[in-house]
Every structure is written in C-alpha cells, then in structure tokens.
Structure 1
Amino acid sequence: MVSRMDRNELYPIGDVARRTGLSISAVRYYADADVVTPSASTPAGHRLYDVSAIARLELVRTLRELGAGLGEIRRVLAGEATLRELAATHLALLQRQEARLRRRRAVLSTILSQDSTAEQVLLMHKLAGMSDEERDRLIDEFWTEVCTGWEPPERMTEWWRAARPELPDYPTTAQLEAWIELAELVRDTEVRQAVRRELYEVCTTGAGPLMTSSPMLDRLEAATPIGQAAMDAAREQVPPDSPRGREIADQWIGWLTGIFATPDDPGTPDTPEFRIQTADHMLAGAEWDRTPPQPEGPFDRYMALVTTVNNAHQEQFPWEWLAAALRASARPAR
C-alpha cells in the first residue's frame, strides 16, 4: 500500500487512517504517546504524515496485533531492538500462554469425563501446574512408600524408579490428561498399598525370585541387541530366509536355549522342532500386540500413563518376521 503512494506527499490523518486500517483516534493516540509522530502540521494545526510515518504506523498495527507493548515498539522503531529479538520474546510468551491453555483444557476435559467435586477441580488445576521438581518429588514419594516394609531386588527398584513421567515444556492435552490421572493415582494411599502388594507377590512368589535376580536380568537384557537386529532387518525388509535372517534366528535361539542353562544342565537343546515351537510363540506375541489386554492392576495403569505422558510408544517388535526367520532356519542350510 505504501509503495503506491507519493513519497514526497503529506497525507491528512483521515487518509492515514484509511491506508493503515487504524482508527483516527488510534493514529492520534500513537502520536500523543510519541510512538509515531506527524511529519508536519497545517497552519490550522491538522496533522500530516509522510510515507515513512505511514509505514511505521502499519508496523505498529502489526506488532500490536502480535501482542507487543508500546515500550517494545518504541525500542524497535528507535533501532534499540531488532524485530528478531521482539519476535523471539513474543514467541516465548505465546508458548507459555499456549501451555497454560493446554493445562486448562486438560483440566476441563477431565472434569467433563468425571463427576468432579470442587475440591477435585482445585487439585487437578494444581497438579497440571506442577513444576518438574514437584513432579519428581511426588513420584519419588510414591516409590519410597511402595518399597517400604520389604526388600525388593535392587535392579527392579532401579527400573521402577527410572520409569517416571517427564512432561515436556509444551505438552499436548492428552499428555496433560494422562499426567493428571497419574498424579491422582500415585497420591492415593490405597493405590500405593495395592502396588506394593502386587510387586511383592511378583518378586517373592513362584518363579519371581529367579526371574528378578541379577543373573537372570543380565540374561534377559542380553536379548536386547538381538531384538534390535531383528527390528532393523524387518524395517529394512530383509528376507527372513536370507543368510542375515538365519544369523539372527541362530542368535535368538542361542540366547533362548541358554537362559536357564547351568553347569549341571545345558538347557533346552536346539532342534528344528524347538525352533518351530518358538516360531509359534512369536506368532502368539504378534497376536498379543494386535489386541493387547487392558491394564489390569494399578502398576500396569501406572506404566501405561507414563508411556502416554512421555509419548514413548516404542517400535513394535517384529514377531512375524522373526517367526518366519526361525521357521526358515529350522530347515537345513542350503
């Protein structure tokens, strides 16, 4: 608009208002506030603006719509601050406002999904606005109480405590809703007691002591690089019956047959039948992945909520690819 104007001409305030989209009173206000002053005046005292002043008024209007204050605009027009600095400041402000709106939306969504009392609403609002330190303290208190009164395996305790929510600076509504539910869950004394009973039973009864022992956990963790190799191969569409597929199948079977091996018992023998049986188990795992059961206990719910808060949905394990590789490896190598 400014480019089509005569750069040497002076324009009355009415024309300036029409060209900038500002009201006449707004143009006067910015002049009186020393933001953009008139370029000249008529003998009768009417304000006149040149093209440069009109361009500055258009910039003022834009910056005001973006939320800039008059002090900030004055510094930009005076060359004391750059537009980039102003934009960075206001982007950070908008992001904080957006985060507050998301927290409010999460609280309101939770209220709609529950028959919440006034006290619960106040609590949800407080939980949504917790700092990182407050969230960490709440989770630490939860696990301290869960692990009090018995001696859980040290490695398991480390794993439980490591599975904690890490809410990002600008979380989604779903992440905030999950955090509110999780925070309410871990504050509940009955839930803490239920998780303690559940984990105590898992670790101390049946095969629990064996499966949670450090040697067994070491053996289970040894499968991680083999599983990663299978995921890489499946992602790269490596044929399961290829030499690389057979190598991964051999590694998997070598790991699996050695899990329960002892000096007196070499473990499960590696036979074609065992490989086919293992392949069937892989297909059962694929079916479980397609229709996973709903979390049954409070610990399962805790882990599901942590996954949502952290947006940590992991890549699916290639059960079917590994099953095919195991079946192919059960045949004699060509």
Structure 2
Amino acid sequence: MQYSIGELAHRTGLTVKAVRFYSDRGLVPPSGRNAAGQRRYDDAALARLDVIRVLRDLGIDLATIRRVIEGETTVAEVAAEHVAAVEAQIGVLHRRRAVLNAVANRSQPEEASLAHQRLLLSEVERQCLIGDFLADALGDRPELAGIARTLTPELPGDPSPEQVQAWTELAALMRDTDFRANLRRLVDAHEGGLRRDLAAEVRDAVTPALVAGIGPKSPAARAIVDGLGRDPGELREWLDAVSDPRRERYLELLGVINGWAAPESMAPAFGWLAEVMAA
C-alpha cells in the first residue's frame, strides 16, 4: 500500500513536518513518487516511523535510531544501554532535590549561591575532584590504594540534608592546596620510617596520661614520649602535620557522607604531646 506524507502523519500521530524531516534525513526514504512528483511511502516506511516515534518518546538520539533502523543494533539492546543512563539521571534529580532543600533552608543568598556551585556537580566532575585530590595528597603509590579508599567520599544517590552540607564543606577542603600539601607531608613521613600506626601508639600511650591528669611538663610525661622510641625531630614534624584540625574535620565529614561512625577525636592527645615536645 502506498501513502502520502499526510497519510503517514495521520497514521503515526506525527506532524507532516516531522515526517518530512525524518524522510529528508534518510531514516524513512520514499518508495517512489506519483505522477505529480510527490513522495510516496510503503508499509515499511510506516513501520519505521512507528519505531522512530517510540524511540524518540523515550529520548533516544537520532544516531542511535539510525543504527536500529539499519539493523546495526536492536531496540532491546538500545533499551538496555539507556537503562543505566536513566538511572544516572534519576540519581542526579535526587541529588538536585537534596541541594534545593539545603539551599531553601539557608538564610543568606551568597551561601545559597556557594552551595549551588559546589553541589550541582555532575558525577564525572565530582569524581574528577576526588581523584585529583587523592592523587595530589597521596601520590601515585599503589601501596596506598587502601588508604585512598578509606579517604574516598561516596555521596549516595538520595543524600540527606546533612550529607549534602557535609559534601559542600568537604569539597572546599579538597580544593585547599595547603591541606593537600599537609597530607602529602604525612605520606612522606610514613615513607620516611614513621609507621602508619603511630597515631594509634600515641593514643594508647597518651590517653591514660590524660585520664590520670599527668602534666605535660612532668618527668612522667617525658618518659611517655621517650617510650614512643621516635626521633624527636621527626616526631615534631609528624605531629605538626597530623594535628592540623582540617585533617580531623575531613574525617568527620567523610563519616557523615559515607554513613560511618564518628571518628574518635585525637586533638586532646596531640595537644598534650605537643606541649610535652615543647617543654
């Protein structure tokens, strides 16, 4: 059976302009022309237009539609490919809703603008920021892959307002070049012989002293520091880096974003140890 453009439009629910557009792009070629030179289409063209209409309604691009029509792929394969894209879009919408809720609860317009700029990052942009931060802070060291994982924020697809606000602050810390350099100093200290568990050793040695009320200028305090068995110069350098409040704040924010328990604050132990070292 032969159809005019108008008849195809009527049967498919498309406009004449749309049918002509697809025909001009070669997606629905005419099967011939009548005596007046007008294009005529067959049942195959009608079937193609039905496929095009459905795929366009699903948001499929013309290049992919052409691949389907030309037999390079199937509708089922295209649908499977686009499921992930749709899920990603849903995740974006969830995050956008969380951002808008957070912005709506802010009183200052400049704060809302700042939150908007930092939080409406695409997934790719966010991962680039995280990857750049970890690479700069830890360096390209395969042996530190485990540490990198423990420092990686994973914002859920439907974050809470608290997680949104935590990501705002965490993103600012990641962009802080001085903070990155400070973490790099800790990595260098680790490679220089100060073991990764030094913080745990300090906690185990100093916490009892704090509970017992041992003063940092007392001989007992000096004995505790000597018991760590570290070079005083290296210990001072490590302590200066590890006691940076931004490091502890990063871990706190990371816990909120990843749903982890709040980390134990080492600030009192580090402060006590710094006083001992100064004395």
- 1:81 aligns to 2:73 (yes or no): yes
Q: Which residue in 1 is equivalent to 2:154?
A: 166
- Residue 164 (structure 2) pairs with residue 180 (structure 1): yes
Q: Tell me which amino acid in the other structure corresponds to 2:166.
A: L
* 2:130–2:152 contact (8 Å) kept in structure 1: no
Matches within 5 A, 1:1-334: 9-129=1-121, 131-132=126-127, 134-135=129-130, 162=150, 165-168=153-156, 171-174=157-160, 177-185=161-169, 203=207, 205-206=210-211, 309-310=257-258
Segments of 5+ residues of structure 1 without an aligned counterpart are 1-8, 142-157, 190-199, 210-298, 314-334
Give the superposition deviation at 1:113. Answer: 1.1
Contact 2:2 2:43 in 1 (8 A): yes
Tell me which amino acid in the other structure corresponds to 1:166: E
Over 3 Å counting, the alpha-carbon distance change for 1:140 and 1:105 in structure 2 is farther
Distance 2:74 2:93 in 1: 29
Letter paired with 1:206: V
Compared CA separation, residues 75 and 184, structure 1 to 2 (3 A): closer
* Structure 2 stretches lacking a partner, 5+ long: 137-145, 177-202, 215-247, 262-279
Once residues 173 and 308 of structure 1 are traced to their aligned partners in structure 2, the CA distance between those partners, rounded to angstroms, is: 10
- Alpha-carbon offset, residue 57 of structure 1: 0.2
Query: What is the number of equivalent residue pairs in this alignment?
Result: 186
Q: 1:134 to 1:179 in 2, by over 3 A?
A: farther
| Partner Cα distance (1:22, 1:172) in 2 | 37
Distance in 1 between residues matched to 2:118 and 2:87, nearest whole Å: 20
Q: Would you identify which runs of 4 or more consecutive aligned residues in structure 1 move more than 6 Å?
A: 136-141
Cα deviation, 1:199-232, whole Å, max 9, x if unaligned, reads x8x94632899xxxxxxxxxxxxxxxxxxxxxxx
- Please provide the CA RMSD for this pair: 4.3
* CA displacement at 1:39 relative to structure 2: 2.2
1:41 Cα shift? 2.2
Aligned 8 A contact 1:104 1:125 in 2: no
What is the letter of the counterpart of residue 75 of structure 2? L
Query: Is the 2:106–2:112 Cα contact (8 Å) retained in structure 1?
Result: no
Per-residue Cα deviation, 1:121-157 (whole angstroms, up to 9, x for no partner): 234432452524634787999xxxxxxxxxxxxxxxx
TM-score, length basis structure 2: 0.51
Q: Is the 8 A contact 1:12 1:48 kept in 2?
A: yes
Paired with 2:130 and 2:151, the residues of 1 have a C-alpha distance of 13
Shift of the alpha carbon at 1:165? 3.7
Q: Is the 8 A contact 2:99 2:116 kept in 1?
A: yes
Larger radius of gyration: 1
User: What is the identity, as a one-letter code, of the residue corresponding to 1:51?
Assistant: D
Normalising by structure 1, what TM-score?
A: 0.44
* Offset at residue 66 of structure 1 (A): 1.6
Shift of 1:164: 6.4
